[in-house]
Structure 1
């Protein structure tokens, strides 16, 4: 059965994530400790106690550490996938799982990514708005006339995130609510991520990426910018930097995976956001699962045998 491993992005974090695994599974602890060393951050305090988890510089390596450590638990038990994909930050977990980055290398890299994103925009002046109940074309139409607001994440057929100046997002939220949005909410992020307002940050991060070695992935990995798999020889550095300041085409990624014959989707990380969206989309017979903690890992391995 063609399988895809999926990895969530920033916003998926929960206090206490991974503590049960760290205390009971050696491979999880070993991988997590590599992330601690690579990022030079007390990720145990971050993940287990919530220390500085309002900062992208901390939360990004924290989510990565939990996700990739959990993935290594699966791999140690023989679980495998042909396809890897992740939302925003999760794309780095996907690339690492496919062997493009080393674990410690990637932990350090996403810390730098988070710091650059945090520092890219004055605090409180920019943000992101989640809109549920409108297609992306309808959202784009409502953005006309707002020069500081952009579609940032196209998540599913009727779920979109908009990035921009807070003054515009407040007005847009009122507009979407008045026109019957199923739900709107301001996301807990420090800036207008995945929008042209972060072009300068993306250019800075490209300089960081140019100093990183990146191996050819072992398997199919999806690019958020392309909404499709990386092709052999793709300029991953350019695409990863571009992801910071352009639309995340997650809906295109999932549609491409479904069309390519993926019949089992397994979300690996602290939340089940991606798997919940997929369950509303896939046809009967397609398996969608999530693994977040020790019990979830045990259940998955028991049913997979």
Structure 2
């Protein structure tokens, strides 16, 4: 069984999607439609923008979404998922890929999500840190014992957990985690505390937009970040997507659940190879590769 997975923020690069645009009329049409939906030329930034321009929140999330979703669409008959999952932002790409959301609705939600998250970041200074080489339980216990907001946010693979919260609480947690034997506890260059209670204003804003959007019955199960199991009910998918902004990304658990349910091949669709790398750390016995189109 084939599991298709979709990357989240951080996978962007200058020139992303240009090969698709040049080689595929379908891709060209969808990129132009995206420019019109967003009200600015995101293709200019994706194809020619600097790393700094691509880092703008209003650009980053739609750019990664577009690269992933358009690649899935140009694969045509070759794209036949038995199950899908996406890391954080990638969950919205996965929901377009399995027919729950239309391309237009997916892009609109991604854009609203990006702007709502940006606003929440500006309202309160906060950050995230990557913790390497400790058991999840040790990291969770440490976070619980620290004053202030600091929580486990991304379960990326065994021995790699990202924590999220207030700057002071994150710094304190990093100190304690190093004392407890973490190989690294490194503050990340991100704009805010994603997947933590500090994203509550963004969750409320996005909830309204999600409630007003049509969610169709999927053509294959989605393994959502919040639930880490196969979901096919559109209302449940909606609730999990709303919860996702303030809840942890259970990526390790999602991948393990897909394998337990019969996935024999995991294919990453979108920019970069981050999820393929994580896959090898979660379960080396399952083949992991990237989807490609044309002569790549």
- Give the TM-score normalised by structure 1: 0.89
Aligned CA RMSD, in angstroms, stands at 1.9
Partner of 2:90: 90
Map of 1:22-171 to 2, 5 A cutoff?
22-48=21-47, 49-50=49-50, 52-74=53-75, 76-122=76-122, 125-143=125-143, 144-171=145-172
C-alpha distance 108-41 of structure 1, shift in aligned 2 (>3 A): farther
Is 1:297 equivalent to 2:269 in the alignment?
Answer: no
- Structure 2 gaps of 5+ residues are none
Contact 1:123/1:190, CA 8 A, preserved across alignment: no
1:188 Cα deviation (Å)? 3.3
1:115 Cα deviation (Å)? 0.3
- Structure 1 gaps of 5+ residues are 301-305
Q: What are the superposed Cα offsets for residues 171-219 of structure 1, whole Å, 9 maximum, x if unpaired?
A: 3223334444333333332211111111222112111111111111111
Q: What are the superposed Cα offsets for residues 211-269 of structure 1, whole Å, 9 maximum, x if unpaired?
A: 11111111111111111122425333322111001111111111100111100100011
Contact 2:269/2:290, CA 8 A, preserved across alignment: yes
C-alpha distance 241-149 of structure 1, shift in aligned 2 (>3 A): same
**1:121 alignment partner, SS class:** helix
Contact 2:125/2:166, CA 8 A, preserved across alignment: yes
C-alpha distance 15-180 of structure 1, shift in aligned 2 (>3 A): farther
C-alpha distance 131-123 of structure 1, shift in aligned 2 (>3 A): farther
- Give the TM-score normalised by structure 2: 0.92
Q: What are the superposed Cα offsets for residues 115-168 of structure 1, whole Å, 9 maximum, x if unpaired?
A: 000001336710111112112111112211232111111111211111101122
Partner of 1:237: 238
Q: Distance in 1 between matches of 2:190 and 2:279?
A: 24
4+ residue runs of structure 1 moved beyond 4 angstroms? none
Is 1:267 equivalent to 2:263 in the alignment?
Answer: no
1:270 Cα deviation (Å)? 0.7
Q: How many equivalent pairs are there?
A: 293
